[in-house]
Amino acid sequence: MRVLFTFVGGPGHFQPLAPIARAVAAAGHTVAVAGSGSMVRAIEAGGFRAFATESASRDVRPRLPLSKPDSDRAELELREIFARSEAPRRAEAVLKVGSEWEPHLVVCDEVDFGSMVAAERLGIPHASVVVLAAGSLLRKEIVAAPLSELRESYGLPPDPGLTMLDRHLVLSPVPPSFRHPDFPLPANAHSIRPVDAPPPATARPDGPIVYFTLGTEFNTESGDLFSRVLAGLGQLPVTVVATVGEHIDPAELGAQPPNVRVRQYVPQGELLPNCALVVSHGGSGTVIGALAHGVPCLLIPMGADQPHNAARCVALGAGEVLDPMSATPEIVQSTASAMLTVPRYRQAAEAVRREVANLPGPESAVPLLERLVRR
């Protein structure tokens, strides 16, 4: 069978799909991935055929001041950007790719609403992949109105219950305990490991490692947060590895103490097995990656689903949360120091690691996808 994987946005929406796509390809099926032009290089680097759903543009991101997290703004962005603005463009682009490449199945990230509409218009099933880990941001009532309009524009029947979001199959690369209990997965969901079965995290002989990142989307909207956090972490007896992303020059942050290393990018998988603590914005990929390796999280959420993820970390006992607006170097230092020395944070994160290790791998999704096509 031919399977078209699709996602809207950047790496945080592509990475959860990649292990499933590799498993499908390893089973002998033909796989292609459709994403924005700016992601074509990353798609091809992952070993997949890439379809650009829009032309690549020069991605220039100015440094912006930090804004206070706002749940209403996050819901507005989900509705107006993902459902109202992006979904029609995605539907048109994926429908064009699908008409030419003729896939038997679409596997899309859970907020790639346009790809779901395109699949239905093509008369083929789709499976969605969870990318908002806590599950409490994407609520059907938030996106119902613009998606109803989009369906009508493509001549699709009314869907008042918005069953299009989870009609066929939902794949969740998230430990079940992390999902908010008030927003359970649908009955047709299948949980899989987000990473290879990880070993218990261990500190290197030269001391513990603290990984600090603000992700790939919010890093340029962080004001002076990088500087404040590094000033606090740099006072600890640990090795700090900070990644700032391709749009920020590490030199911009000035000279750092010998125990602080600032890079644009380091593969997360290379750091997490030896980390003692992850300090981050609370993006789904970073948080789930850390917990999957038994590493507790110090969260400084700035927007989107990050406050939801941070709240779940605290509820599980594996994290603490700081306010991005008021977190001083002293607060960062004292909170991180406590998390490095109080055993309960590591113990709670280890419980999640064991849960992840017992989940089936991405290959377990292949027969489910095959069954969708046969059906």
Asked whether the beta carbons of 253 and 226 are under 8 A apart, the reply is: yes
State pLDDT tens for residues 119-143: 999 999 999 999 999 999 999 999 9
pTM: predicted TM-score of the whole model, two decimal places = 0.94
Asked whether the beta carbons of 132 and 284 are under 8 A apart, the reply is: yes
State pLDDT tens for residues 286-329: 999 999 999 999 999 999 999 999 999 999 999 999 999 999 99
pLDDT above 90: residue 195 = no
pLDDT for res 216 = 80
**Structural domain boundaries of the chain?**
2-193+359-374, 209-357
Per DSSP, the three-state class of 258 is: coil
Distance CA 186, CA 180 (A): 13
- For tokens 């064009």, name the residue: 96
What percent of the chain shows pLDDT beyond 90?
85
- For tokens 């790719």, name the residue: 97
In terms of pLDDT, which residue wins out, 354 or 67?
354
Angle value at C-alpha 134, between 341 and 3, nearest 5 degrees: 120
Asked whether the beta carbons of 90 and 8 are under 8 A apart, the reply is: yes
pLDDT for res 55 = 77
Asked whether the beta carbons of 322 and 332 are under 8 A apart, the reply is: yes
Identify residue 136 by its one-letter amino acid code.
S
CA distances from 107 to 35, 50, 74, 79, 111 (A): 12, 14, 25, 21, 12
pLDDT for res 56 = 64
In terms of pLDDT, which residue wins out, 245 or 353?
353
State pLDDT tens for residues 32-79: 999 999 899 999 999 999 999 987 655 566 777 888 888 999 999 999
CATH topology for 2-193+359-374?
Rossmann fold (3.40.50)
What are the E-state strand segments in the chain?
2-6, 30-35, 49-52, 105-109, 126-129, 169-172, 189-191, 209-213, 239-243, 260-263, 275-280, 297-299, 319-321
pLDDT for res 22 = 97
The end-to-end CA distance of the chain, in Å, is 13
Q: Residue 240's closest CA among 279, 267, 214?
A: 279
Give me the mean pLDDT over the 12-29 stretch: 96
CA distances from 300 to 161, 264, 275, 313, 371 (A): 35, 19, 18, 12, 42
Give me the mean pLDDT over the 134-153 stretch: 97
Angle value at C-alpha 112, between 301 and 248, nearest 5 degrees: 45
Give me the mean pLDDT over the 248-256 stretch: 90
State pLDDT tens for residues 165-192: 999 999 999 999 999 999 999 999 999 9
Distance CA 198, CA 352 (A): 11
pLDDT above 80: residue 244 = yes
Per DSSP, the three-state class of 49 is: strand
Give me the mean pLDDT over the 273-290 stretch: 96
**Mean model confidence pLDDT for the chain:** 93
pLDDT for res 198 = 61
Distance CA 149, CA 156 (A): 10
pLDDT above 80: residue 220 = no
In terms of pLDDT, which residue wins out, 155 or 248?
155
**Fold match between domain 2-193+359-374 and domain 209-357:** yes
DSSP label at 205? T
Asked whether the beta carbons of 220 and 61 are under 8 A apart, the reply is: yes
Statement: 209-357 belongs to CATH 3.40.50.2000: yes
State pLDDT tens for residues 82-116: 999 999 999 999 999 999 999 999 999 999 999 99
pLDDT for res 333 = 98
